[in-house]
Structure 1
Amino acid sequence: MPIKLENVAIAVRDLEAAIAFFTDLGLTVLGRARISGEWADIAVGLDGNTADIAVLQTPDGNGRIEMFQYVHPEAIEAEPVQPNTIGMHRVAFTVDNIDAALEVAAEHGCHPLRGVAIYEDVYKLTYLRGPSDILVMFAEELQKAD
């Protein structure tokens, strides 16, 4: 059976702030809509389901994020996900320049949880809290000298 990953969906407190963060990193908004109706109630499993959504795509065209802000029912606040929480964990991006990506994130008030690490001279990487406390990982592949 062929299978293809369509997108990863993330509920956010402030859709505009989340769109600004991810578009500043280089993603493109493919579309926006307000979803509601019987089909949405059935698909999502919530009565009266109404949400504003945006679908963003990575510059390479291979990755998509669907972000949504609930209008009804009211969104449920939870403790921010920790790196060792079971379940949906984080969204990760390979970046050409981790320092430049962190500068963009900082403009949105988002900073590394602890710092930037180097993994076996292969990657520089870090976790940070994005909008709505989304865990975001940046990884820059390091070039090995011959």
Structure 2
Amino acid sequence: MTTRIDNVGIAVRDLEAAIAFFTDLGLELLGRDEVSGEWADTAVGLDGNHARIAMLEAPGGQGRIELFEQLHPDAIETEPTLPNEIGMHRVALQVDDIDASLALAARHGCAPLRGVADYQGVYRLTYLRGPSGILVMLAQAMQPG
């Protein structure tokens, strides 16, 4: 049996804002769709499921994120995840220039939770809140390779 991770799904309040944020950080928009019907109800386990979705991919096919904006039933607001909570946690993106990536994130109103840290001279990294409160970790390798 072969298993691989295909994508990670993230519910967002505003699909367009989330697409703009992640594409500015270098992900490529692969496509969009609107899903509903019996197959969607069955797959998701939610009667009347209706959502707008977008699939994004990291350069070189290194991972995918599916963003979805729930149209029906209504989305349920929750508190943003904290870094020490159990459950789905964050999306981590490796970037080649963390300062440039933070400048792009700032255009979307996103800033580091505390600052940029140096992890043992190997990575510069930070957590920030993306669209809809999504925790996003940015990491830049400090040495090529």
Range into which the TM-score falls when normalised by the shorter chain? over 0.9
Distance 1:29 1:113 in 2: 27
TM-score by length of 1: 0.97
Query: Structure 2 counterpart of 1:95, which letter?
Result: V
Unaligned segments of structure 2, at least 5 residues? none
Distance 2:22 2:87 in 1: 22
Distance 1:84 1:61 in 2: 30
Q: How many residues align?
A: 144
Q: Report the secondary structure of 1:60's partner residue.
A: helix
Q: Tell me how large the CA RMSD over aligned residues is.
A: 0.8
Give the deviation of 1:143 after TM superposition: 1.6
Q: How does 1:1-146 map to 2 (within 5 A)?
A: 1-143=1-143
Query: Structure 2 counterpart of 1:13, which letter?
Result: R
Distance 1:80 1:60 in 2: 30
Q: Report the secondary structure of 1:9's partner residue.
A: strand
Distance 2:37 2:51 in 1: 10
Calculate percent identity across the aligned residue pairs: 68
Instruction: Provide Cα deviations, 1:3-29, integer angstroms capped at 9, x if missing partner.
Output: 011000000000000000001111111
Give the deviation of 1:91 after TM superposition: 0.1
Distance 1:60 1:137 in 2: 19
User: After the TM superposition, which segments of 4 or more aligned residues of structure 1 sit over 4 Å from their partners?
Assistant: none
Unaligned segments of structure 1, at least 5 residues? none
Distance 2:65 2:4 in 1: 14
